[in-house]
Amino acid sequence: MGLGKTLQTLAWLQMERYHPTVRGKPTLIVCPTSLVGNWAEETQRFTPQLRVLQIAGADRHAKFSEIPNADLIVTSYALIRRDAARYLEHQFGILVLDEAQHIKNRSTQNAITAKELRADHKLVLTGTPIENSVSDLWSIMDFLMPDYLGSHESFRRNVESAIAAGGPEAEAAQLRLRRKLQPFLLRRLKTEVAKDLPARIERVASCTLSADQKAVYKQLLESSRNKLSALVAKQGLQRSRMEVLKTLLRLRQACCHLDLLKLEGLAVEAPSAKMDLFFELLDEAMDGGHRVLVFSQFVTMLTILRKQFEQRQIPYCYLDGATQDRMQVVHQFNSDRNIPVFLISLKAGGTGLNLTGADMVIHYDPWWNPAVEDQATDRAHRIGQKRTVYSVKLITKGTVEEKVLELQRAKKAVINATLSSGESVLNSLTWDDIQGLLTL
């Protein structure tokens, strides 16, 4: 979120290295691949006394012998899975999971491996503790404090289902969960931490589908509706869920650009009204001296935009999951004001990076969870930013994208109700409240 989680953690690690339970044991930080270099750089910048060891890349196996001599080891979720056996040989003083939503699904290898690692103390950092449902919180807390929230089945039955049902039952479940979490949660809000941070102005920019898009979208919608109705009637919603998600994906792709659908023999004159709107907004932004981050979850969409930039001779930077030297690209954009645009895949660059060289963010396609988009916007709207940041969501009217916006509003209400912060909550705890912490 750009509120100094990395710096705060490094300061704490610097102090904790002298604690009797930690002294002599290295700290392990696990983070997304895109942030391994960032953690190493920030460590050298703010806590140069800490000996940092990056374990990444094809030559990483030669570095495992150096672990006992390092204060701080940084690796990625992708590599911790592959190298689990090597890390299980060590007892770490502190284990930190950055962007801890990567273990939100308890059955994934990320979550399983993280929970097997041995450490005296554990810390998780995340700006999006709830991405899909409150069960994300259960998995994160199961890493930190196993059994504190009970079994997953009881949590799903007593908390997740109650919240999903809505009404008074949901409010009571949210209150119980909030009381359980508050003693172990430090939620930092920009209004509290960075009071001098410039404003963030958000708006939605809408367009209607082109005639070509409307024809394809309508055909997809009608064929999918009939197919899904029959499928759900036959085998139920749960067993049909993958087909439902696939249908929603293709409808969203049609809203972005028809080329994303890869339909054979499709020849159209107007494949994307949204792309036309995008370049109108971009031209205005560049004329106004703004520098822009452009996020999309579709790498193919970013590829289409790259081709357009090259045809229009617009300088740009680019980052997706296949980008090798990510920090070099970040530094290039932040330091060269002649580059007005940075194209970024939401998954690869939506968290952790400092891109205060930009003061405008465009979300080309909306994502289901508003917290994920907020995290992406906060690449620019973070400590160090001196200008007002403008965030724009591109939406096609009368489509599934409008439904995504409605869902975002609903999810934001659940997130705020579950994670509402306040030091007064801790200060006013009674003995009954504390006993209540031990039950769910």
CATH number at residue 86: 3.40.50.10810
As a whole number of angstroms, the distance between CA 423 and CA 152 comes to 28
Domain annotation covers residue 395: yes
Give the chain's domain count. Answer: 2
Cβ atoms within 10 Å, residue 342: 27
161: nearest Cα among 150, 149, 173: 173
Q: Are strands 316-319 and 341-345 parallel, antiparallel or unpaired?
A: parallel
Please check the confidence at residue 95 and state whether its pLDDT lies above 90: yes
Domain-ending residue, one of 188, 218, 250: 188
Same domain, 135 and 264: no
What percent of the chain has pLDDT above 70?
90
Q: 14 burial class (0-12, 13-18, 19+ CB within 10 angstroms)?
A: middle
Same domain membership, residue 363 and residue 217: yes
DSSP 199: P
Question: What confidence score (pLDDT) does residue 2 get?
Answer: 56
Domain presence at residue 435? no
Residue 221 is predicted with a pLDDT of 85
> What would the mean pLDDT of 331-359 be, rounded to a whole number?
91
Q: How confident is the model at residue 434 (pLDDT cuts 50, 70, 90)?
A: very low
Are 207 and 181 members of one domain? no
For the ranges 151-165, 196-210, 251-265, 411-425, which has the lowest average pLDDT?
411-425
What Cα–Cα distance (Å) separates residue 395 from each residue in 168, 218, 380? 33, 17, 21
Which of 148, 141, 153 has its CA nearest to residue 438?
Answer: 148
Tokens of 283: 């031209």
**In this model, does residue 432 exceed pLDDT 60?**
no
pTM of this prediction exceeds 0.85: no
CA dihedral of 54, 55, 56, 57, whole degrees rounded to 10: 110
Helices (H), 182-267: 190-193, 211-235, 237-256
Regarding whether 156 and 101 lie in a shared domain, the answer is yes
Position 221 in a domain? yes
Gap between the Cα atoms of 237 and 244, Å rounded: 9
Q: Based on the fold, state whether residues 181 and 237 are members of the same structural domain.
A: no
Q: Is the dihedral of CA 262, 345, 297, 301 positive or negative?
A: negative
Look at 169 and 383; give whichever has higher pLDDT. 169
CA 79/CA 113 separation, integer angstroms? 11
Among the residue ranges 80-89, 124-133, 430-439, the one predicted with the least confidence is 430-439
**Backbone region of residue 147 per phi and psi (left: phi > 0; alpha: psi in -120 to 50; beta: other values):** left
Residue 404 forms part of a structural domain:
yes
Is 220 a domain residue? yes
Residues 141 and 207 both lie in one domain: no
The domain boundary residue, chosen from 153, 188, 223: 188
Q: Minimal CA–CA distance to 31: which of 42, 17, 21?
A: 42
**b/e per residue, 257-268, with b = 16+ CB within 10 A?**
bbbbbeeeeeee
pLDDT in tens, 230-281: 887 888 877 877 887 888 889 999 999 999 999 888 888 899 999 999 999 9
Please count the CA atoms within 13 angstroms of the CA of 431 that sit on its side-chain side.
0
Of 188, 222, 242, the residue that ends a domain is 188
- Are 286 and 391 found together in one domain? yes
Q: Which amino acid is at 390?
A: Y
Same domain, 341 and 228: yes
**In this structure, what CATH number is given to the domain that contains residue 249?**
3.40.50.300
* Averaged pLDDT for residues 77-102: 93
In this predicted structure, what is the pLDDT of residue 195? Answer: 65
Residue 89: which pLDDT band, with cuts at 50, 70 and 90?
A: very high
Residue type, 434: I
Does residue 248 sit in the same domain as residue 395? yes
Say if residue 228 is in the same domain as residue 333. Answer: yes
285 and 355 in one domain?
yes
Angle ∠(110,324,46) on CA atoms, nearest 5: 75
Q: What is the pLDDT of residue 336?
A: 95
User: Average of pLDDT values for 334-356?
Assistant: 90
Q: Strand 72-76's sheet: what is its strand order?
A: 52-54, 72-76, 27-31, 91-98, 118-125
pLDDT at 72 over 70: yes
Neighbours of 422 (CB within 10 A): 11
Question: Does residue 388 lie in a domain region?
Answer: yes
pLDDT band of residue 422 (cuts 50, 70, 90) is very low
Range of the domain at 154: 5-188
Instruction: Judge whether 194 lies within some domain.
Output: no
* Residue 423: per-residue pLDDT: 38
20 is a domain residue: yes
DSSP secondary structure code for residue 345 in this structure: E
Q: How far is residue 291's CA from residue 335's CA, in Å, rounded to a whole number? A: 12
Give residue-wise pLDDT tens across range 198-216.
788 898 898 999 999 999 9
pLDDT in tens, 350-390: 777 889 899 999 999 988 777 788 888 888 888 778 888 99
pLDDT tens profile 139-148: 999 999 999 9
Token pair in block for residue 397: 């009217």
CA angle 277/282/283 to nearest 5° reads 100
Count CB atoms within 10 A of the CB of residue 315. Answer: 11
- Tokens 């708006």 label which residue? 203
- 142 and 290 belong to one structural domain: no
Q: Which of 35-39, 192-196, 267-271 has the lowest mean pLDDT?
A: 192-196
Band (pLDDT 50/70/90 cuts) for residue 425 is very low
Mean pLDDT of 6-27: 87
